[in-house]
Amino acid sequence: VRLAWDERDEAFRDELRVFLDEHCPDELRRGRDFLGGQDEIPVWAQEWQAALFDHGWMIPSYPPELGGRDATAVQTLLFLEELASRGIPRSLHFGGYAIVGPSLLEFGNDEQKAMAPAAIRGDTVWCVGMSEPNAGSDLAALSTRAVLDGDAFVVNGQKVWTSYAAIAQKCFCYVRTDPTVAKHKGISVLIIEMETPGVEIRPLKQIGGSSEFAEVFFTDAVVPAENLVGDLNDGWRITMGSLAHERGGLWVEGVFAALRAIEGLVRVARERGVDRDPVVRRKLGELYERAASLRSLGYKGFSSFAQGSSAPEHSFMKLSTTELRKELYRTAMDLQGAWGAVVDPEWSSEGGRWQHAWITSLAGTIGGGTSEIQRNVIATRVLGLPKG
Amino acid sequence: MDFSLTDEQEMLRDTARTLLAKECPPTLVRACIDDPAAADELWQRHVREWAVLGDGDLVDHVLFLEEAGRVMLPGPYFATSALFLPLVRAVDHPLAAAAAAGEVTGTVSMADRSGQWLVHDEPMHTFVVDADRVDHIAFVVPGPAVAVVATSDVRVQRIESLDLVRRYGHVDVPTQVEPVPIDPQALSEVLERATVALAAEMIGVSSWLLDHSVAYAKERVQFGRPIGSFQGLQWKLVGMAQDHERAAAAVAYAAMAIDADDDDRRRATHVAKAAAGRAARGGAQDGMQVHGGIGYTWEHDLHLYLRRAFASDALLGTADWHHDRLADLLLG
């Protein structure tokens, strides 16, 4: 048990700091709570992702040709920590580098593996077709149908909550290829070009007003058979991998965003003149306790993970950090009293930042596995309770 | 931050767990309710040699205290190793060596009538842990300074406590003894260490509560199936596990921060005790609910842990008190 990493790791962190100081675009230095919602990816964001890749800082554990530098697990953690503590994202569209790239490398054939560098560098923008109107938490119930007809699949159906679909060139799409077997056993993954005739995208306006999600409709869309990823009807295994890739380092971001939010709450409390109020003080103390203890839990889980043991701690992190963030931002609104209802940039604390953060945080306990699903999973897989 | 244990630490924990499971069964703990001397032999033969942990790295001491909390170890271990020894060591008192060797036992007398562990000049101290069961009492008096007195030379008044196993007393502060000055910083470090040590013991309490509640939910059948298959109970148990896990991590971190004399040590201490208090109290209440009627019986051990959880939260600062101290550090 020790507090500091070794010298080699600290040198790694120093090198990263120099890189960030030199290359990070001004737009990302503001430490905003959330990004996204753009209708298109700004040039500075494309350049930033490419710079990270070219300097081996996109996915540090990967080899240089995949945007990394063969970093160790500890170094990867230091990397995530440094970015998260500054509130700097690697990309404005996480699907490509966090889900599609790693999945192609793990499950794809040689030709598909060759698509991974562009996915990670952001040269190709990907969306991931998972959720459907009747397949949300019950993802395996998806019904978008792909029928093999000669050397092509014909795809019909609908996806929803598809992030970045409106700006993507390709879709990593989960489809039903065998409706006659148990639902987990008839799913496959297809790479679908968004330009394909029969693919229609309708942006989905969210409660915050932006449209990073879309509905995607498939009507007799013809997809070449070689676009199948992995084996036919073996897609569920890939789904599980996708979700694991998505979750791997997210706790770091969640914890540091929570700690940054507490610094913000201190500012708001002072600005609104409630920083001497004993109720406010106790609440902020409690929120800090939760954020700080979750930071320790994340690192503890990482320590087991880095030693090759399983890390049940990490099952709690998605659930706990997203629930905490909702409460943090709601508290920021409470601290503003009547002004919590005002989003006018001229009148609201920090230009309406907290109201925006609060609205966005509501998605955190829904997307990527709802809090309720997380609790069910922890109950059965971590505590070993019998299935209901 | 690396939380992994060394081989020696794993061995320490496993040895302690095996030893205490064997030598400190619930029957012995219950015997101490009526007669605290029932644990004397356990102390003499098996536990006193572990007192030395109070002299070394807190991360090691924490491992033993978690195991002690899990079995609700009775006797003078906590008071001697987590309160008395660090304080007398900080003032280089000659009894420190004997306390570390487990040859003498002791406790610390400091809290005022409000229960706060702050230096004050009231003539009586209270919340003195196991005051009537130890050889020596180290008083913290204005200065700040420390006066070590044989228990036989002071008036101790036992006060009945919610916790049936851990005893509290009021003690009159002796006037004739010449106290030794202690650096205020050193005193606050002793208290930080004691607070994290207590939080560690509470992690043992919440782990007992979680393990037994999960096990009971798997065994108990109603409506033709184990009650642990019902979502309402599953989520309650998940909540207990969530609070327990993050409190355990917070305690391990606080111990590391104190050992490294890190700048974060004070915050980490408040976080650890508050998180441990929440986990233990919540685990006791929800564990009671999971156990249903059987948990409400005197025969079941659950109420011993329920009592310990609430009493320990109240000792050395409640979760609310530690939240307020965190607020002081955040907001000034």
Residue A210: predicted pLDDT = 78
Distances (CA, A) of B164 to B30, B74, B130, B161, B304: 9, 10, 12, 7, 7
Given CB atoms, is A370 within the 8 Å cutoff of chain B?
no
Contact B281, B162 (CB under 8 A): no
| Neighbour tally for A1: CB within 10 Å | 23
For residue A38, pLDDT over 60 is answered with: no
Residues 226-245 of B with CB under 8 A from A: 226, 228-231, 234-235, 237-238, 241-242, 245
Contacts of residue B217, defined as CB under 8 A and 6 or more positions apart, other chains included, come to: A385, B226, B227, B228, B233, B237, B290
Q: Is the pLDDT of residue A33 over 70?
A: no
Cα B310 from Cα B162, distance rounded (Å)? 8
Residue in chain A nearest B217 by alpha carbon: A385
SS3 B139: strand
Contact B148, B136 (CB under 8 A): yes
| Crossing angle between the packed helical segments A313-335 and A353-361, to the nearest 10 degrees | 140
Compute CA distances A195 → A27, A169, A177, A218, whole Å: 31, 7, 22, 11
Chain A 323-342, residues with CB within 8 Å of chain B CB atoms: none
Judge contact between B112 and B118, C-beta under 8 A.
yes
Cα–Cα nearest to A50, from A118, A116, A126:
A118
Asked if this assembly's ipTM is beyond 0.90, the reply is yes
Contact B2 A383 (CB under 8 A): no
As a 3-state breakdown, chain B gives helix, strand, coil percent values, each rounded to 5, of: 65, 10, 25
Separation between Cα atoms, residue A260 and residue A26, nearest integer Å: 19
Question: What CA–CA distances, in Å, run from B49 to B43, B69, B81, B88, B135?
Answer: 9, 17, 10, 18, 17
Q: Give the number of other Cβ atoms within 10 Å of residue B148's Cβ.
A: 21
Q: Is residue A35 pLDDT above 80, yes or no?
A: no
Please say whether the beta carbons of A135 and A249 come within 8 A: no
- B261 CB contacts (<8 Å, ≥6 apart)? none
CB contact under 8 A, B246 and A290: yes
pLDDT, residue B267, reads 98
> What is the per-residue burial (b if ≥16 Cβ within 10 Å, else e) of B243-255?
bbbbbbbbbbbbb
pLDDT at A34 over 60: no
In angstroms, the CA B5 to CA B71 distance is 22
Count Cβ neighbours within 10 Å for each residue of B176-214 and write b for 16 or more, e otherwise: eeebbebeeebbebbbbbbbbbbbbbbbbbbbbbbebbb
| Three-class DSSP category at B16 | helix
Neighbours of A198 (CB within 10 A): 15
Q: What is the pLDDT of residues A322-355, one digit of tens each?
A: 999 999 999 999 999 999 999 888 888 888 889 9
Q: How far apart are CA B257 and CA A157, in angstroms?
A: 55
Asked if residues A186 and A192 have their Cβ atoms less than 8 Å apart, the reply is no
At A31, is the pLDDT very low, low, confident or very high (cuts 50, 70, 90)? low
pLDDT confidence of residue A211: 78
Residue A313: per-residue pLDDT: 73
AA identity, residue B58: L
Mind listing the pLDDT tens digit for each residue in B185-205? 999 999 999 999 999 999 999
Least confident of A43-52, A78-87, A235-244, A345-354: A235-244
Rounded to two decimals, the pTM is: 0.94
Active site residue A246: yes
User: Is the confidence at residue A229, as pLDDT, over 80?
Assistant: yes
Q: What does the pLDDT read at residue A79? A: 93
Mean pLDDT, to the nearest integer, of B64-74? 98
Cα end-to-end span (Å), chain B: 27
